[in-house]
């Protein structure tokens, strides 16, 4: 068992400007405690007994820290301004007499990272993660056996890469000695080498296992934007993950189109002290949520998010019932959710036109444009579903936005099943109103939905006669703007879960999330195709989020029975909703991964074989 840790902490941290004017980077504070102390506590709690800190810039701070922790020894690198991290590590040579963990001083991370690397039986291990897109990442090239080949800040210098260096490694004593010899031979003037270079330098003879941890929260803090991310996103995530009680909640795999599978941290975020939602503290929570949701798709200068207690339909109905004045609405109907907006227009007796379009192929844009031209005097809005959840057909909202610009009408998008997965830019796409909810790709709990609106357009609805009370968009907007409150009781605990879900979405990143969903979709499509099943929408028009699959033709097939079979195996699938074709649906959203989809495919094969057996 490794008992020693070495932290290289000599750097100037000059990219952090004022923040590191008087303190080295390790003394940036989170919760009133330097990040180096967070790190040392985690090391000691994980069984590390001695910590060597290689110091340089403002070394006296570390020496003061060493007087608080008898486990710490400081080794000063007097030429820290001129040297790279390998020089600092090299100077600790006398003190390093055994295998050790090597860490950088500007890291925050989950304790799990240390536990995992210590648990590994290999003596040389480098921790890696998915890409963080931090802008300063070190990419890892590894061999087919998962060993280190090369490291670089420039992706293009590597033959391939699918992992990023975390800055925590386990190094055997003998490999360390080789790193030192390598460095001695290569010392360029004056000692600019980083330890990464030395690792690569000896990797031909010394094997370093790359241990990729996909679910461990961490970040490096090198500049202001990384500091912001550390402070506002990663540290809160680390805290919530480490505070998770040991409690065995069965993990169900929901392959229905929302509510989706959530993380345990989202589930537990609901367990909070009781609070009256009229308290200022709660108002601030909702304001934060509203701002963050807006920022996923637009700038908060021109756009705002209006929250409602209610399922997704509430947000769509709020828009449809509130924003139309005297003119009418043109609704594109190419599935059950487009149909639902038509029903709303009927219920509220709005002047409406329905543009019927095939549920499995793209909208005929020329025909749509003609329809708009012919009716331009009687329509003010165009409504469309982004990802039609009935089939997975993805409607071209960007092109629709251009069309709306050309004819000066406003675009309403039901983005319930695309928001927080498929990147959307409301400004660029010319979208006036967008509806979504907490419990689909945001991976939160059901009970909150929201409308994101261009403020300029929303303000103009001020004079529309309200057609309902609870869902009246302008009233909800104005009330929130004045009081930071919803007009009626919000789903309190659901909103705490939503905050956590938003943080986790920011942690993963919308593009990474969509990449994860897309990978699962590929596995799903390959799997069902191999089993002889067909799906409705062609790849090029597909959202890759939800798929309507044609039902097997075996006479023994019965959806309810198949559902039951999967349900008993912890997986939930969904019935179809197409009027003219028999389908069932599989959504690949939520905190689900490729292994879950692979399992789904295996179970599907098993199920289909039982049908054959019964014939």
Ligand X SMILES: *Cc1c(COP(=O)(O)O)cnc(C)c1O
Q: By the criterion CB under 6 A, which residues form the site for ligand X?
A: 257-258, 311-313, 316, 337, 385, 389, 414, 416-417, 437
User: How many helices and strands in the chain, by DSSP H and E?
Assistant: 20, 27
Helix (H) or strand (E) holding 21: none
What does the alpha-carbon distance between residue 15 and residue 319 come to, in Å, rounded to a whole number? 46
How many CB atoms are closer than 10 A to CB 144?
A: 6
Least distance from ligand X to the Cβ atom of residue 197, Å: 50
Helices marked H in 348-491: 365-375, 397-407, 455-459, 473-483
Give me the long-range contacts of 361-366 (CB less than 8 A, separation at least 24): 361/393, 361/537, 361/538, 361/541, 362/393, 362/395, 362/396, 362/541, 363/332, 363/334, 363/395, 363/396, 365/396, 365/399, 365/403
Closest to ligand X by CB, 101 or 416 = 416
- In angstroms, the Cα distances linking 287 to 265, 458, 499, 535 are 21, 18, 11, 42
Tell me how far apart the terminal alpha carbons of the chain are, to the nearest angstrom: 59
Q: Which is nearer to ligand X, 137 or 317 (CB)?
A: 317
**Which single residue brings its beta carbon nearest to ligand X?**
312
C-beta atoms surrounding 428 within 10 Å: 11
Rounded Cα distance between 311 and 317, Å, is 10
* Smallest distance from ligand X to CB 542, Å: 15
**Residues 270 and 494 sit within 8 Å (Cβ to Cβ):** yes
With tokens 């191999």, the residue in question is 530
SS3 598: helix
Q: Measure the CA–CA gap between 252 and 566, rounded to whole angstroms.
A: 11
CA–CA separation, 85 vs 597, rounded Å?
43
**Which residue number, 454 or 577, has a Cβ lying nearer to ligand X?**
577
What is the distance between the alpha carbons of residues 500 and 266, in angstroms, rounded to a whole number? 6
For 307, phi and psi rounded to 5 degrees?
-95, 145
Min dist. Cβ of residue 336 to ligand X (A):
8
* Contact assessment for residue 501 and residue 266, using Cβ atoms and an 8 Å cutoff: yes
Shortest separation between residue 77's beta carbon and ligand X, angstroms: 58
CB of 382 to ligand X, least distance (A): 16
Least gap, CB of 353 to ligand X (angstroms): 20
| Contact in structure between 101 and 4 (CB atoms under 8 Å) | yes
Pairwise CA distance, residues 376 & 352, whole Å: 12
Instruction: For 392-478, list the strands marked E by DSSP.
Output: 393-394, 410-414, 433-437, 448-454
């Amino acid at each position: 068992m490794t008992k020693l840790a070495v932290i290289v902490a000599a750097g100037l941290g000059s990219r952090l400007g004022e923040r590191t004017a008087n303190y080295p980077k390790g003394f940036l504070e989170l919760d009133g405690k330097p990040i180096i102390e967070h790190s040392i506590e985690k090391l000691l709690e994980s069984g590390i007994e001695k910590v060597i800190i290689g110091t340089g810039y403002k070394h006296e701070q570390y020496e003061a820290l060493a007087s608080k922790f008898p486990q710490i020894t400081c080794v000063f690198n007097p030429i820290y301004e001129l040297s790279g991290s390998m020089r600092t590590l090299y100077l600790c040579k006398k003190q390093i007499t055994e295998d050790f963990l090597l860490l950088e001083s500007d890291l925050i991370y989950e304790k799990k990272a240390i536990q995992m690397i210590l648990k590994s039986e290999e003596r040389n291990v480098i921790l890696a993660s998915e890409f963080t897109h931090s802008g300063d990442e070190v990419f890892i090239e590894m061999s087919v056996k998962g060993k280190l080949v090369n490291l670089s800040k420039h992706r293009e210098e590597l033959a391939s890469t699918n992992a990023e260096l975390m800055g925590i490694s386990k190094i055997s004593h003998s490999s360390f000695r080789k790193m030192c010899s390598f460095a001695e031979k290569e010392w360029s003037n004056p000692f600019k080498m980083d330890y990464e270079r030395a690792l690569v330098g000896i990797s031909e003879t010394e094997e370093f296992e790359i241990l990729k941890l996909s679910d461990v929260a961490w970040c490096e803090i090198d500049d202001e934007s990384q500091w912001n991310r550390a402070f506002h996103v990663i540290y809160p995530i680390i805290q919530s993950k480490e505070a998770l009680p040991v409690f065995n909640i069965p993990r169900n795999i929901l392959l229905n189109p929302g509510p989706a599978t959530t993380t345990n941290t989202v589930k537990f975020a609901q367990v909070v002290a009781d609070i009256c939602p009229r308290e200022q503290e709660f108002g601030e929570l909702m304001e934060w949520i509203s701002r963050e949701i807006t920022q996923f798709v637009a700038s908060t200068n021109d756009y705002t998010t209006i929250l409602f207690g209610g399922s997704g339909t509430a947000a769509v109905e709020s828009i449809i019932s509130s924003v139309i004045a005297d003119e009418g609405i043109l609704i594109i109907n190419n599935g059950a959710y487009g149909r639902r907006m038509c029903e709303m227009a009927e219920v509220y007796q709005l002047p409406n036109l329905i543009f019927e379009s095939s549920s499995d192929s793209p909208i005929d844009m020329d025909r749509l444009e003609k329809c708009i031209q012919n009716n331009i005097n009687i329509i003010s809005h165009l409504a469309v579903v982004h990802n039609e959840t009935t089939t997975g057909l993805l409607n071209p909202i960007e092109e629709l936005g251009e069309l709306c610009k050309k004819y000066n009408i406003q675009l309403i998008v039901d983005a319930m099943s695309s928001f927080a997965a498929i990147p959307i830019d409301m400004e660029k796409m010319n979208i006036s109103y967008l509806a979504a909810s907490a419990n689909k790709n945001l991976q939160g709990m059901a009970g909150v939905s929201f409308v994101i609106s261009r403020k300029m357009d929303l303000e103009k609805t001020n004079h529309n006669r309200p057609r309902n009370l609870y869902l009246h968009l302008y009233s909800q907007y104005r009330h929130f703007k004045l009081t930071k409150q919803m007009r009626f009781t919000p789903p309190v605990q659901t909103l705490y879960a939503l905050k956590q879900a938003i943080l986790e979405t920011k942690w993963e990143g919308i593009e990474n999330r969509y990449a994860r969903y897309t990978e699962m979709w590929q596995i799903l499509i390959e799997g069902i195709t191999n089993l002889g099943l067909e799906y409705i929408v062609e790849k090029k028009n597909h959202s890759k989020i939800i798929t309507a699959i044609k039902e097997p033709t075996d006479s023994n097939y019965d959806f309810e029975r198949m559902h039951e079979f999967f349900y008993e195996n912890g997986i939930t699938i969904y019935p179809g909703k197409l009027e003219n074709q028999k389908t069932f649906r599989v959504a690949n959203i939520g905190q689900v991964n490729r292994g879950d989809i692979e399992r789904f495919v295996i179970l599907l094969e098993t199920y289909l074989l039982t049908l054959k057996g019964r014939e």
